[in-house]
Structure formats: C-alpha cells, structure tokens
C-alpha cells in the first residue's frame, strides 16, 4: 500500500473469510458489526478511521468497506506505516486481515509559485 503525503486518499477493501477445510472464500457480511475500523500505525502514533460499508460496484453484497484518509492525516508523515482492519461488535474487536498490511507514505512534490506571462 502506498499513500501520497498530504493527499486525500480513499481505500476500498473486500472482506472475505477463507474456510480452512476447503480453501474456499466467502464474503463477510459487514452489516452485523457496529463499525469497521482501519487502524494505521504512523511513525508518531496510531490513528483509527471508521469505514463506510459499500455493496460493491455491481451490488455484490455488504462485504466491501471504504476508508477516507484526509490530507491532514498524512501531512509531514513520510515513512513506513502498518495497518489492520477490525470489525467492532458489542465492544469486542475482530481482526479481518490475516497479516498486517505494510505500506509507505511517499513524499509529495510541491511546485513553487510561479506567474505566467504573455
């Protein structure tokens, strides 16, 4: 996962459950959870973002979640990050990702002010 420093970012995840005995995957109904959280560990601390459940581009069910990370969250934080996705139900957290998601916040490019002339 790569994020650009100081930019609004939208992350979309499809949450599935892998059945150990058969190796098949099935969609997880996210509507049974009180909230879905993306926990991001930045260099200077941890922040949680609450997701919005989306039924997919073609109405495939309630196993998609979207997280909006606004530019203020990544400004001046160019470094490695790690993330986990949690479902919260009755104040208990259930981790959705099997492995911690690793990522980077890449430095943004700034263009100094300039004036165009005829």
Hey, which residues does 102 pair with through a beta bridge? 82
User: pLDDT tens digits for 34-88?
Assistant: 999 999 999 888 999 999 998 766 666 789 999 999 988 888 888 899 999 999 9
- Reference 91, options 31, 35, 15, 48; nearest CA is 35
Hey, which residues does 91 pair with through a beta bridge? none
Torsion of CA 8, 67, 18, 93, to 10 degrees: 130
Say if residues 80 and 58 touch (Cβ distance below 8 Å).
Answer: no
Give the other-Cβ count within 10 Å of 33's Cβ: 22
User: pLDDT tens digits for 13-34?
Assistant: 999 988 877 778 888 899 999 9
Superfamily of domain 2-106: Immunoglobulins (2.60.40.10)
What are the boundaries of each domain within the chain? Answer: 2-106
pTM to 2 decimal places: 0.80
């Amino acid at each position: 996962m790569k994020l650009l420093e100081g930019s609004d970012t939208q992350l979309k995840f499809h949450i599935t459950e892998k059945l150990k005995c058969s190796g098949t995957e099935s969609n997880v109904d996210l509507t049974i959870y009180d909230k879905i959280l993306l926990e991001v560990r930045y260099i200077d601390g941890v922040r949680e973002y609450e997701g919005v459940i989306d039924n997919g581009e073609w109405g495939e069910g309630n196993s998609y979640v979207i997280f909006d990370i606004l530019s203020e969250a990544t400004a001046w934080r160019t470094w490695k990050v790690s993330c986990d996705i949690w479902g919260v139900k009755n104040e208990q957290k259930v981790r959705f990702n099997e492995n911690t998601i690793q990522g980077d916040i890449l430095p943004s490019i700034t263009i100094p002010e300039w004036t165009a002339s005829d």
